[in-house]
Amino acid sequence: MADKNGKLDLNKLSFSDSVSFYFDRASQFTDTPQGLLDQIKVCNSIYKMHFPVKYGNQVKVIEAYRVQHSHHRMPTKGGIRYSLMVDQDEVMALASLMTYKCAIVNVPFGGAKGGIKISPRQTPPEILENVTRRYTAELVKKNFIGPGIDVPAPDYGTGEREMAWIMDTYLTLRPGEIDGYGCVTGKPVSLNGIKGRTEATGRGVVYALNEVCSYADDMKGLGLSTGLEGKRVIIQGLGNVGYHTARIIREYGAKVIAVAESDGAVYDENGIDPVDLHRYRTEKKSVKGYPKGKVIADSLSALELDCDILIPAALEKQITDKNAARIKAKIIAEAANGPVTPAAEKILLKKGVMIIPDIYINAGGVTVSYFEWLKNLSHVSFGRMQKRWEEKHQRNFIKLVEDLTGKTVSKSKIDMLIHGADEIDLVNSGLEDTMIEAYQDIREFKKRRKNVPDLRTAAFAVSINKIRDSYYAMGIFP
Q: Which is nearer to ligand GLU, 20 or 337 (CB)?
A: 337
Q: Which is nearer to ligand GLU, 79 or 242 (CB)?
A: 79
Considering only 20, 369, 428, 463, the residue that binds ligand GLU (CB under 6 A) is: 369
- Which residue number is nearest to ligand GLU in terms of Cβ? 79
**Secondary structure of residue 450 in the 3-state scheme:** coil
| 113 is an active site residue | yes
Q: In the complex, what is the shortest distance from the CB of residue 75 to ligand GLU, in angstroms, rounded to a whole number?
A: 10
365 binds ligand GLU (CB under 6 A): yes
139 binds ligand GLU (CB under 6 A): no
Q: In the complex, what is the shortest distance from the CB of residue 468 to ligand GLU, in angstroms, rounded to a whole number?
A: 22
376 binds ligand GLU (CB under 6 A): no
User: Applying CB under 6 A, which part among 82-90, 346-354, 361-369, 408-416 lies near ligand GLU?
Assistant: 361-369
User: Applying CB under 6 A, which part among 8-16, 23-31, 243-251, 363-371 lies near ligand GLU?
Assistant: 363-371
Q: In the complex, what is the shortest distance from the CB of residue 364 to ligand GLU, in angstroms, rounded to a whole number?
A: 8
Size of the site for ligand GLU (CB under 6 A): 11
State how far the Cα of 279 lies from the Cα of 204, in Å rounded to an integer: 23
- The set of residues, in sequence order, having a beta carbon less than 8 Å from that of 154 and lying 6+ positions away, is 79, 80, 160, 162, 163, 186, 240, 365
428 binds ligand GLU (CB under 6 A): no
Amino acid found at 165 = W
247 binds ligand GLU (CB under 6 A): no
State how far the Cα of 283 lies from the Cα of 30, in Å rounded to an integer: 51
List the catalytic residue out of 41, 77, 113, 187. Answer: 113
Considering only 39, 245, 337, 463, the residue that binds ligand GLU (CB under 6 A) is: 337
DSSP state of 385: T
Name which of residues 141 to 160 contact ligand GLU (CB under 6 A). Answer: 153, 155
Q: Which is nearer to ligand GLU, 293 or 365 (CB)?
A: 365
Pick the closest to residue 232 from 244, 249, 215 (CA basis).
Answer: 249
Q: In the complex, what is the shortest distance from the CB of residue 8 to ligand GLU, in angstroms, rounded to a whole number?
A: 27
Pick the closest to residue 425 from 388, 382, 365 (CA basis).
Answer: 382
Count Cβ atoms below 10 Å from residue 406 Cβ, excluding itself. Answer: 6
**Secondary structure of residue 114 in the 3-state scheme:** strand
**Secondary structure of residue 343 in the 3-state scheme:** helix
User: Applying CB under 6 A, which part among 46-54, 75-83, 226-234, 296-304 lies near ligand GLU?
Assistant: 75-83
Q: Which residues of 260-282 are buried (b: 16+ CB within 10 A; e: fewer)?
A: bbeebbbbbeeebbbeebbebbe
Per the rule left: phi > 0, alpha: psi between -120 and 50, beta: everything else, 16 is alpha
Name which of residues 163 to 222 contact ligand GLU (CB under 6 A). Answer: 185
463 binds ligand GLU (CB under 6 A): no
Name which of residues 76 to 115 contact ligand GLU (CB under 6 A). Answer: 77-79
Q: Which is nearer to ligand GLU, 37 or 153 (CB)?
A: 153
Q: What is the phi/psi pair of residue 235, to 5°?
A: -120, 130
Q: Using alpha carbons, list the distances in angstroms from residue 204 to 121, 198, 308, 430.
A: 27, 11, 19, 10
The rounded Cα 327 to chain-centroid distance in angstroms is: 23
Considering only 256, 366, 438, 442, the residue that binds ligand GLU (CB under 6 A) is: 366
Within 81-184, residue ranges assigned H as helices are: 88-104, 125-141, 160-173
- Rule CB under 6 A: which residues touch ligand GLU? 77-79, 153, 155, 185, 337, 362, 365-366, 369
- Annotated catalytic residues are 113
